[in-house]
Amino acid sequence: MTSERVLILVEDDEALAKTLKRSFERRDYTVLTADSHAAVLSLLGNHKPGYAVVDLKLGPESGLVCVQSLHAHNPEMLIVVLTGFASIATAVEAIKLGASHYLAKPSNTDDIEAAFARSTGDPSTPLAPRPTSIKTLEWEHIHEVLKDSDFNISEAARRLGMHRRTLARKLAKRQVG
């Protein structure tokens, strides 16, 4: 396979992976999927993708290891890191390891393709801070703790230092996804 329109999608969330795969296939990409670093290495043995979309948090693994392996396999590959847990530290490391762009979730196929198209930096990017409400920060923290506790509400509530019913009420107001 040539690397022209071959994309490797590294995502451990099956529903998101399936959605992105279908969307990229409609745009004439050949999409290979992997849910771990080992799966990425296996795919790289037989394929030479020109594009990659990598989730930063792959269960217990870091997607940064995948970024490093993908870049080592093909330094010309355009790699976009997607994350629901964006931070300056991981953005810097992703770029150092070979990622072309770093996008916060939710991002769609249009956002990712736009990132592939922007292979150089943009000095006119505005320096405005990303507005984040306290409710959004709280929700992101709750979701991260939930994911780390395998979505066990009792365990997540213990780790968050709140009553299980309080956490259940918060979750009922906003769906986990």
Distance CA 125, CA 127 (A): 6
Q: Write the CA distances from 91 to 23, 38, 44, integer angstroms.
A: 25, 23, 24
Domains 6-117 and 134-173 share a fold: no
134-173 fold: Arc Repressor Mutant, subunit A (1.10.10)
The pLDDT value recorded for residue 177 is 46
Q: Against a cut of 0.75, is the pTM above it? A: no
Q: What is the pLDDT along the chain (177 residues), one digit of tens a residue?
A: 444 789 999 998 888 899 999 999 999 999 999 999 999 999 998 898 999 999 998 888 889 999 999 999 999 999 999 988 777 888 899 999 999 999 988 888 998 998 888 866 667 766 666 666 777 778 878 888 888 888 899 999 999 999 999 988 888 876 554
> Which homologous superfamily is 6-117 in?
Response regulator (3.40.50.2300)
Do residues 147 and 158 lie in contact, with contact meaning Cβ atoms separated by under 8 Å?
no
Domain ranges of the chain: 6-117, 134-173
